[in-house]
Structure 1
Amino acid sequence: MIELKKLLYKKCMEYVDERIASIESALLASHDASVNDTKSSAGDKYETTREMMQQEISRNSLQLMEAKKLRISMNKLSPDSTSPIVKPGSYVCTTNGNFYISISAGLIQIGEKSTYAVSHFSPIGKLLLGLQSGETITVNNQTYTILSVQ
């Protein structure tokens, strides 16, 4: 199970790294477009375009900051640790799916295993925290009984 957690950790880090690279690329493109934009005879059009580019740069900067927070969250996890109680970094098998409590990265397929990477701030993550094998939660009228925690 530790090997599976290591692979899940790696996939989540790849997700974060790809997200950061994509945002940095968009930021660079927005910045280059802003610098290379020349003033046209239609002054209002020029100002509107520059303002839109600035808004895009601001939006991308915010997204980059959030993505870097995800990396910090992942760096706090240890894929080698185990605990009988669900905590950040836990791998949780339930009757209705498997969950890696880390970041919200969605469904991760490793071999035959499907696992949802969820944040401990997500609705299901919040409910799972602090529980152990045999305990049950209900989310959206669906019951999840914890079979094991790693």
Structure 2
Amino acid sequence: MNTETKTRLFKLCTDAIKQRIENAQLALAEIQEATENETKSSAGDKYETSREMMQQETDRNMLMLNEANKQLVILNGINAGSANTSADTGSLVVTDKGNFYISVSAGTLTLESQKYFAVSISSPIGVQLRGKKTGESFSVNGNQYQIKQVL
């Protein structure tokens, strides 16, 4: 693994976050269209319940959109091609139990049949990884991890 791997993981993370943004925007547009097409019927309670449900869905999608935009800002601050000697945002940490790309919480990424966990530096595992170097170990949820390499 090298800086090219980190660059490719960065792109996968960016693509995943951009997809989240696109999905939230699409859902918001669909809700807006449904709201505009909603006509007030004689059953006022049904109309009000429907409007409230649409508002809740709008709020949920706005929250998802805002979070995805925050994650994109974090990603834009990462120099994907840099080499790291200690774990921090932008690092790729190879352990005996998995590979962690410290960036944003983007879930599991697969690159050339290898799995990587994209984690935020503020996540429980990110907090434990911060500042660690090759050869050190850390523990999360009772699981002990040995760091093989920090890139």
TM-score, scaled to structure 1: 0.96
Q: Which residue of 2 aligns with 1:127?
A: 128
Q: 1:127 and 1:60 mapped to 2: Cα distance?
A: 31
Q: Which residue of 2 aligns with 1:64?
A: 65
Say whether 1:47 aligns with 2:45: no
Q: 2:49 and 2:108 mapped to 1: Cα distance?
A: 40
TM-score, scaled to structure 2: 0.95
Q: 2:56 and 2:105 mapped to 1: Cα distance?
A: 26
Q: 2:49 and 2:104 mapped to 1: Cα distance?
A: 37
Q: 1:67 and 1:109 mapped to 2: Cα distance?
A: 20
- The one-letter code of the counterpart of 1:9 is F
How many residues in Structure 1 have an aligned counterpart in Structure 2?
Answer: 150
Shift of 1:121: 1.0
Q: Which residue of 1 aligns with 2:101?
A: 100
Q: 1:113 and 1:61 mapped to 2: Cα distance?
A: 33
Q: 2:109 and 2:44 mapped to 1: Cα distance?
A: 50
Shift of 1:47: 1.4
Q: Which residue of 1 aligns with 2:28?
A: 27
Shift of 1:117: 0.8
Secondary structure of 2:86's match? coil
Q: How does 1:108-123 map to 2 (within 5 A)?
A: 108-123=109-124
Shift of 1:130: 0.7
- The one-letter code of the counterpart of 1:14 is D
In structure 1, list runs of 5 or more residues that go unmatched: none
- The one-letter code of the counterpart of 2:60 is R
Q: Which residue of 1 aligns with 2:5?
A: 4
Moved more, 133-142 or 88-97: 133-142
Q: 1:5 and 1:83 mapped to 2: Cα distance?
A: 11
Secondary structure of 2:115's match? strand
Q: Could you say what the CA RMSD is over the residues aligned between the two structures, in angstroms? A: 1.0
What do residues 84-115 of structure 1 show as CA deviations (whole Å, max 9, x unaligned)?
Answer: 11110000111111110011112211114221
Structure 1 segments of 4+ aligned residues over 3 angstroms from their partners: none
- The one-letter code of the counterpart of 2:80 is P
Q: 1:110 and 1:86 mapped to 2: Cα distance?
A: 20
Q: 2:20 and 2:6 mapped to 1: Cα distance?
A: 21
